[in-house]
Amino acid sequence: MPDQTPPLQDASDAALSPLPRAPALAFVAAETDDARSARDRLHARYRGVPPEEADIVVALGGDGFLLETLHDTLSLRVPVYGMNRGSVGFLLNDFGEDGLSDRVCRAQRVALHPLRMRATTAAGERSGLAFNEVSLLRETRQAAKLRISVDGVVRLPELTCDGALVSTPAGSTAYNLSAHGPILPLGAGILALTPISAFRPRRWRGALLPHDARITFEVMEGDKRPVSAVADFTEVRDVLRVEVYEDRSIASTLLFDPEMNLEERILKEQFQP
């Protein structure tokens, strides 16, 4: 299947353009009563517009729904301001109905560049984007065997594991952290390559790679040990080879209240007991 996500030229500049004083707001919500009720009240109060006409899209839900919104609004090139109407809410601002126009205008901006996944199967190639991580996962009871190359050089000839993932800084506190990967500061310019339940080499804990690295996974014994690849919401089963790299031609902007900025949250997460 051909790549269906066109590159966005000068994406970072477009994402960071100035906001009008009274921005037009669009409200989208997760499929929960709490989120939908909040959306309806805010839409009426702030005269919400369709996302295609908005200066800012306000997403109401949890972290998963915020990721969906980032994907859905990529072609619109509008900032996304999330408010927590879900469970975790690490990427979201606190919910509040008062003074929303002022809040979004004062918000700090973070430009995110997603990972591009190119997965090869016996049927051809598929592509996907991930703002959090690209993960490879075993499909059966048997462990996966992966060969890992970075920029065309084989760095790990054989990794026996449940899987492996490549994480962005914004996603480093999600699945990557659960797999005992490192938390990455936003401005570090690095990606985390993290094994999932590594069996051999047992002591390998992963690697930190420059953001422009190209990581290639080759699936060994794929007929016996099938592997799937997942980029946020795109899953490809029975992969033979997966290439992952940061796509700098694409950017999406997240907005955070100054007291809830993402860099501070990531820093605090590293000192949690």
Give the active site residues: 63
Query: Is 251 known to sit in a ligand binding site?
Result: no
Query: Is 48 known to sit in a ligand binding site?
Result: no
Neighbours of 224 (CB within 10 A): 9
Query: Is 121 known to sit in a ligand binding site?
Result: no
Query: Is 243 known to sit in a ligand binding site?
Result: no
Identity of the amino acid at 248: R
One-character DSSP codes across 215-258: EEEEEETTTTS-EEEEETTEEE-S-SEEEEEE-TT--EEEEE-G
CA distances from 186 to 121, 167, 171, 190, 255 (A): 33, 12, 10, 9, 14
Query: Is 179 known to sit in a ligand binding site?
Result: no
Query: Is 63 known to sit in a ligand binding site?
Result: yes
Query: Is 176 known to sit in a ligand binding site?
Result: yes
Query: Is 177 known to sit in a ligand binding site?
Result: yes
Three-class secondary structure of residue 200 per DSSP: strand
Query: Is 93 known to sit in a ligand binding site?
Result: no
Query: Is 173 known to sit in a ligand binding site?
Result: yes
How far is residue 29 CA from its own chain's centroid?
18
Report the C-alpha gap between 110 and 83 in whole angstroms: 16
One-character DSSP codes across 144-162: EEEEEEETTEEEEEEEEES
Query: Is 162 known to sit in a ligand binding site?
Result: yes
Report the C-alpha gap between 194 and 203 in whole angstroms: 12
End-to-end CA distance of the chain: 46
Q: Which residues contribute to the annotated binding site for NAD(+)?
A: 63-64, 132-133, 162, 170, 173-178
Q: Which residues contribute to the annotated binding site?
A: 63-64, 132-133, 162, 170, 173-178
